[in-house]
Amino acid sequence: MRECKECKTLFEPTVKHRFYCSEDCFNKNRLKLKRKYGKDFRKKYPEKVKEQRKKWLTSEKGKKTEERYYKRTKIKRRICHREWSRRQRLEIIRLLGGQCTNPYSQHKEPYIDVRALQIDHVNGGGRKEVKKFKNCTTSYYSFILKKIKSGSKDYQLLCANCNWIKKYENNESKNIVN
């Protein structure tokens, strides 16, 4: 009698499997080893892996496989991207206090509805900053998050009303007509 390396049950060894009680246990362990050695290989020889991947992607079969993969996962990637962006925005809101700073006394109680809270640049110039990121919100939110975590006071939270009043009073928007 021997103990199975995978599930630790006692079994009678056979010619085919001396260390595993069944085909399932053997396959589970084989997959674990395959993943482990694959990771080790990728860490040890990153140049070879890069070269193999490049060769695969330039082959006809590789191109078709990649194309099918991107078509198949397009919606899933979009959902994940949107969710990540939303989490970053909520983190920024949390770090900035989670409520409107209310500089124009628009409301008596603190405004905390995240749907209408906007990240505002204290000294203006937000449009120029957004253009640097080519309207990629996740990159922009990552940038703001890093700045806030490093102690920057360039941003504040305003509700939509306070933000538009600030834009109007400081002539920050080119679309505002007096």
Domain ranges of the chain: 1-44, 56-178
Q: Which residue has the higher pLDDT, 37 or 78?
A: 78
Query: What is the band of 125 on the pLDDT scale with cuts at 50, 70, 90?
Result: confident
Tell me the mean pLDDT in the region 153-173: 89
SS3 157: strand
Contact between residue 6 and residue 28 where contact means Cβ atoms under 8 Å apart: yes
- What are 67's two structure tokens? 């194309």
7 pLDDT higher than 70: yes
Query: What is the band of 30 on the pLDDT scale with cuts at 50, 70, 90?
Result: confident
Separation of alpha carbons 135 and 11, rounded Å: 62
Res 3: pLDDT? 85
Separation of alpha carbons 178 and 169, rounded Å: 10
Q: Which residue has the higher pLDDT, 128 or 80?
A: 80
Cα diameter, the chain: 91
176 pLDDT higher than 70: no
Contact between residue 154 and residue 123 where contact means Cβ atoms under 8 Å apart: yes
- DSSP letters for 81-121: HHHHHHHHHHHHHHHTTSS---TT---SSPP--TTTEEEEE
Query: What is the band of 47 on the pLDDT scale with cuts at 50, 70, 90?
Result: very high
Taking alpha carbons only, the member of 107, 103, 115, 111 closest to residue 167 is 103
Query: Which of the residue ranges 77-81, 85-89, 100-104 would you say has the lowest mean pLDDT?
Result: 100-104
The helix or strand, by DSSP H or E, that contains position 172, with its residue range, turns out to be none
Q: Which residue has the higher pLDDT, 38 or 51?
A: 51
Q: Which residue has the higher pLDDT, 70 or 102?
A: 70
